[in-house]
Structure 1
Amino acid sequence: MSRPRSPRSVLVVDAANVVGSVPDGWWKDRAGAARRLHERLLVGDTSYDDIVLVLEGGAKAGVRPGRDQHVLTVHAPRDGDSTIIAEVARCRDKGDTVVLISADHVLRGRCEGLGARAMSPSWLLDQIG
């Protein structure tokens, strides 16, 4: 008989929202902006067990889907919001503590309704330097 899994702390990142919060020309190279965010999440100190990075549209070309160390990259098949909500629900269903990173108030409200806490993109960017 297997032991129950311990709850984990998970950060779910709305990549489009985080990248879009800094006017650094990201719109000229969405894939490159996604790759840079992914790299910062790999080396940044967030103190979370896992990070789920949700990419949509052109940003998906910057990072392959799958796990790199503690970062799981998920490609949204359609809109990012639906995938983010599904990832929050998946983690909450496992008993994980979830923090969503997004400035989208509607998305934040929906995820908070699932039991997640929400923080701003600037909070995350401060954490990962």
Structure 2
Amino acid sequence: MRVLVVDGANVVGSRPNGWWRDRAGAAGRLHASLARADLDHDVVVLVLEGRATSGRPAGRDGAVETVHAPGSGDDAVVEEVRARRAHGDDVVVVTADRALRERVTAAGGSSVGPSWLLSRTS
């Protein structure tokens, strides 16, 4: 399976559009845009952390699965990569966070930047 894991905080934070005033709303809008987009992946996992988790309940909704990070969003992203790779899935993470990209590569995944995703969801 082809799995796309989205670092919600990093993707939302890549656009200075006032998201910080309504983190939950920004998370909900990101989820909606992921649900509408044709991203050529079997599963899309949206990882949310902190106040953004109130914008979308955890669980699967169509092709989008929302995960609430119990602590660090980066740790939750890496855990998703490890778990999915253990099942033989091809995993791509959307983030611009350099340290997270290195951790993703070490866990067997690959990464693309937010602009890749945003150009497909706008």
TM over 0.5: yes
Alpha-carbon deviations, 1:25-53, whole Å to 9, x = none? 00000000000000000001101000010
- 2:51 matched to 1:72? no
- 2:83 matched to 1:90? yes
Alpha-carbon deviations, 1:13-70, whole Å to 9, x = none? 0000000000000000000000000000000110100001000000000000000011
Question: In the alignment, what sits opposite 1:20?
Answer: 13
Q: How many pairs are equivalent?
A: 122
TM-score scaled by length of structure 1: 0.93
Question: In the alignment, what sits opposite 2:116?
Answer: 123
Q: Distance in 1 between matches of 2:87 and 2:14?
A: 30
Question: In the alignment, what sits opposite 2:94?
Answer: 101
Q: Tell me which amino acid in the other structure corresponds to 2:101.
A: R
SS in 2 for 1:67: strand
Stretches of structure 2 that go unaligned for 5 or more consecutive residues are none
The percentage of aligned residue pairs carrying the same residue is: 52
Shift of 1:113: 1.2
1:61 alignment partner, one of 54, 58, 75: 54
User: Which of the pair has more CA radius of gyration?
Assistant: 1
Q: Distance in 1 between matches of 2:23 and 2:44?
A: 20
Q: Tell me which amino acid in the other structure corresponds to 1:96.
A: D
Runs of 4+ in 1 over 3 A off after TM superposition: none
Q: Distance in 2 between matches of 1:29 and 1:61?
A: 10
Alpha-carbon deviations, 1:91-126, whole Å to 9, x = none? 100000000000000100111111111100011000
Q: Distance in 2 between matches of 1:64 and 1:118?
A: 25
Question: In the alignment, what sits opposite 2:3?
Answer: 10
Stretches of structure 1 that go unaligned for 5 or more consecutive residues are 1-7
